[in-house]
Amino acid sequence: MRESFNETLGQIQTAISNSSNTKDIAIFKDLQLYLIKKLCYFEKMAGFYERGIGIFQSLAELNIFLPENMQRVHDKNVRLAKYQEFYEHYELPKTGELITHTGWPDR
């Protein structure tokens, strides 16, 4: 099932990249969020509650708390590699944790 969601999200991302109509892009982005919400729900129902939470945590970190030095990096793979380093560093608090969240370290 995860593969189906991933494939569909990829197709929507391709449609966003190929579109110049801002109204269509907004609709595609709404559809992406809806599918992600459904994926998280299915993860929870399948017993993978923490995975569903982690998906939303990751989206918040990547889209809201991206460090300033990473905002100039447009290569998705570089951003994801740096994010993976941050996420796997267990001492650093993440979005939604009780400890005061300060975001990614600016390095």
27: Cα separation from own chain's centroid: 18
**Total of domains in the chain:** 2
Cβ burial, residue 39 (10 Å; 0-12/13-18/19+)? buried
Q: Which two tokens stand for residue 95?
A: 């979005």
Is the same domain home to 63 and 15?
no
Is the same domain home to 54 and 31?
no
Is the same domain home to 96 and 56?
yes
pLDDT, mean over the chain: 86
pLDDT over 80 at 2, yes or no: yes
- Whether the model clears a pTM of 0.75, i.e. scores above it, the answer is no
The whole domain housing 54 covers 50-107
What is the CB neighbour count within 10 angstroms for residue 62?
17
pLDDT of residue 103: 65
Q: What is the mean pLDDT of residues 33-58?
A: 92
Is the same domain home to 54 and 42?
no
